[in-house]
Amino acid sequence: MILQALTAYYEQLLKQGKVEAPGWDSKFKVSYELRLGPDGQLLALNDLRQEVPKGKKTVIAPRELPVPHRVKRASGVAANFLCDNTSYLLGADEKGKPERSRQCFEACAALHHKVLDGVDSPAAKAILAFFDSWEPDTAPTHPLLAEQWADLNNNANLVFGYESPDGAHWLATTDDAIRTAWQSAFDTSDPDAETARCLITGKEAGIARIHPAIKGVMGAQAAGAALVSFNAPAFCSYGHEQGANAPVSEYAAFAYTTALNLLLADRNCCQRIGDTTIVCWAENAAPAYSNAMLMFFCGGAEARGVSESDLAAALKALSQGRPVSFLDDKLDPNQNFYVLGISPNAARLSVRFFLHSSFGQFAKNLQAHADRLSITRPAFDKRENLSVWALAQETVNQKSRDKNPSPQLVGDLLRAILTGGPYPATLLNGVTLRIRAEREVTRGRAAILKAYYLRNYPTELNKEVFTVSLNESSNVPYVLGRLFSVLETIQSVANPGINATIKDRYFNSACATPATAFPTLIKLAQKHLQKMSTPNEVHFSKQLTELMAQLPETGFPARLSLPEQGAFEIGYYHQTQKRYAKKNEEE
């Protein structure tokens, strides 16, 4: 299903003229042009690099050009057509292996003769003449190359160009006759290839022995990683080798890898969260869909020129099945949409999840998630919504050396949000551990507790307790949380400027075993009340009385279960935020 969806995406892009046909790579980094004359002599070395912004500065970077499809190299000699490095196009390099460089040059010459022999094109004839007359030993000292030789050997890619007698010039990759010759050669490149029914297209065709590499996944090898590969007998079916174990045609292998590489190269379609790289796309290949989706669950709307309010309005409309105008495009909630999560695993890629639904259904799931997360927030917290990464960070000790959340947690959380499924138990466990360790209920942790219990345990009691802001629920754990917050406030008012409060010493015991902590805290509060002015004493005594009246006559519970502790923490958070809100209003 993944490969079929990616192949369909490639074909949609091809119809729209946004990608090259099979046999060509759409974007390849090229640094220099070797411009040839009609007789094959090197006329000039042209620098194709350009200035591009990188952060707050500009850097010199190679130009991205469409080039003939690249071979996948291991350790052997394998030449590319028209565009390659100095070892293949010039027969010389700085690797200290002149014999191998000569072999590379000869292999490249043989490939170009195989493709271009008999082609009626001045540029094609010039390239063949170059290979027939060029002396690799002269490359490092050639007057046109010597000055740039160090740069040429710094992982630079070169491409052939041609200049006619009348001064007109063009890259060989744009020459119609050469393109036609290459297309013909590519389509018949391996007549001896094993044929089988392609798992993607359903047609009998030559099978790709090795699939092209996928590049752009953070943490994977720089040379690229494979989504489909078989490199050990344990992975192979009886009698089959390499790609024959899962027959995919050369065309389909090219199509799906081209599509995935394009998605990974586009920041509007790709986002990294933890070790998971997420790519998403619409069936009609409209970029506005993926752009909007990444804003919905990863944030960053304002950086892309969209206000938080406009984004929220668009999400709500789509979740209700209504089309909206977004980023100069119309988003249809019925449009098929795909989300793929992948992570690196040495030379391979692991699929974390693959989801397919209508865009409106994804929006509905995201809206429900946002509603569950909604909770009163401190005045200093300006975030309208909490991104997936922000939620995952609530499970991490920010003082530790490794501040990355568990990759498994991130993947499970993403899947739960996008599918509308239950949140992973590891999310609750992580937040609970951080609250116990730090004795701090942040907005993010409170939001997670609220969302977790409302989705995973949607009882009437939980709906009554886990609300956006302070409520008058008589649920005992919730009331105890509120009571603890009031007791903390009493201590702070009675002792201005203290460095530590009862929260630092008693929060965990009050939350887990109220009967052991609260009697002591109540006695302590009575002493604190005696230090206050009469108006404050009356005010806080009234609060204590009202909350104590909601507790059972049997006294404080001996212990609270994990869900009850969640209610306690939410009660504490609600009451504390109510206090801060009132303080801000007074100021």
Strand ranges, E, within 286-378: 324-326, 329-331, 336-345, 348-358
Instruction: Please tell me the predicted confidence (pLDDT) of residue 20.
Output: 83
Q: Are strands 32-36 and 158-163 parallel, antiparallel or unpaired?
A: parallel
- The answer to whether residues 36 and 160 touch, using CB atoms and an 8 Å cutoff, is yes
- The answer to whether residues 107 and 113 touch, using CB atoms and an 8 Å cutoff, is no
If you ran DSSP here, which 8-state letter would residue 218 be given? T
Cα(281)–Cα(307) distance, rounded to whole angstroms? 22
If DSSP codes are grouped into helix, strand and coil, which group holds residue 128? helix
If DSSP codes are grouped into helix, strand and coil, which group holds residue 277? strand
- The answer to whether residues 259 and 6 touch, using CB atoms and an 8 Å cutoff, is yes
Cα(58)–Cα(39) distance, rounded to whole angstroms? 39
Q: Which two tokens stand for residue 507?
A: 């929060």
CA atoms within 13 A on the CB side of 473: 27
The sign one gets for the Cα dihedral 193, 195, 199, 200 is positive
The sign one gets for the Cα dihedral 565, 570, 571, 575 is positive
Cα(368)–Cα(370) distance, rounded to whole angstroms? 5
Classify 507 in phi/psi space as left (phi over 0), alpha (psi -120 to 50) or beta: alpha
Instruction: Please tell me the predicted confidence (pLDDT) of residue 347.
Output: 80
For residue 262, give the nearest of 279, 274, 247 by alpha carbon: 279
* pLDDT tens sequence for the chain (587 residues): 899 999 999 999 999 988 888 888 878 899 999 999 999 999 999 999 998 888 788 899 999 999 998 887 777 899 999 999 999 999 999 888 889 999 999 999 999 999 999 999 999 999 999 999 999 999 999 999 999 999 999 889 999 999 999 999 999 999 999 999 998 888 775 666 678 888 888 888 888 778 888 988 888 887 788 888 777 666 666 766 665 667 888 888 889 999 999 999 998 899 998 888 999 999 999 999 999 999 888 877 777 778 888 888 999 999 999 999 987 889 999 999 999 999 988 788 989 999 999 999 999 999 999 999 999 998 888 888 888 999 999 999 988 888 888 888 998 999 999 999 999 999 999 999 999 999 999 999 999 999 999 999 999 989 999 999 999 999 999 999 999 999 999 999 998 888 889 999 999 999 999 999 999 999 999 999 988 888 888 999 999 999 999 999 888 999 999 999 999 999 999 999 998 776 555 44
C-alpha distances in Å from residue 92, one per residue of 89, 110, 152, 162, 325: 8, 17, 10, 22, 56
Cα(216)–Cα(278) distance, rounded to whole angstroms? 11
Instruction: Please tell me the predicted confidence (pLDDT) of residue 438.
Output: 94
If DSSP codes are grouped into helix, strand and coil, which group holds residue 240? coil
For the chain, what is the largest distance between any 2 Cα atoms, rounded to a whole number of angstroms?
Answer: 105
Q: Where are the alpha helices (DSSP H) in 335-475?
A: 359-373, 388-393, 407-419, 425-438, 443-456, 460-465
Instruction: Please tell me the predicted confidence (pLDDT) of residue 582.
Output: 64
Name 205's bridge partners.
196
* All residues at 6 or more sequence positions from 502 whose CB lies less than 8 Å from its CB, including other chains: 484, 487, 488, 491, 521, 524
Q: Which two tokens stand for residue 351?
A: 């699929």
Instruction: Please tell me the predicted confidence (pLDDT) of residue 189.
Output: 58
Q: Which two tokens stand for residue 541?
A: 């005594």
* pTM confidence score: 0.79
Q: Which two tokens stand for residue 162?
A: 């041609």
Q: How far apart are the first and last CA of the chain?
A: 59
Instruction: Please tell me the predicted confidence (pLDDT) of residue 267.
Output: 87
Name 171's bridge partners.
161
Cα(293)–Cα(280) distance, rounded to whole angstroms? 8
Q: Which two tokens stand for residue 93?
A: 């390099």
Cα(355)–Cα(273) distance, rounded to whole angstroms? 17
Q: Which residue has the tokens 């909490």?
A: 386
Cα(313)–Cα(301) distance, rounded to whole angstroms? 13
CA 438 to chain centre: 30
If you ran DSSP here, which 8-state letter would residue 52 be given? E
How many Cβ atoms are within 10 Å of 464's Cβ, its own excluded? 15
Cα(429)–Cα(158) distance, rounded to whole angstroms? 54
Strand ranges, E, within 16-155: 24-30, 32-36, 42-47, 50-54, 57-61, 63-68, 83-84
How many Cβ atoms are within 10 Å of 256's Cβ, its own excluded? 26
- The answer to whether residues 216 and 262 touch, using CB atoms and an 8 Å cutoff, is no
Instruction: Please tell me the predicted confidence (pLDDT) of residue 239.
Output: 61
For 436, phi and psi rounded to 5 degrees?
-65, -40
> How big is the chain, counted in residues?
587
Q: Which two tokens stand for residue 7?
A: 């192949």
DSSP track, 148-201: GHHHHTTT--EEEEEE-TTS-EEEGGG-HHHHHHHHHHHHTS-TTS-EEE-TTT
For residue 572, give the nearest of 500, 484, 512 by alpha carbon: 484
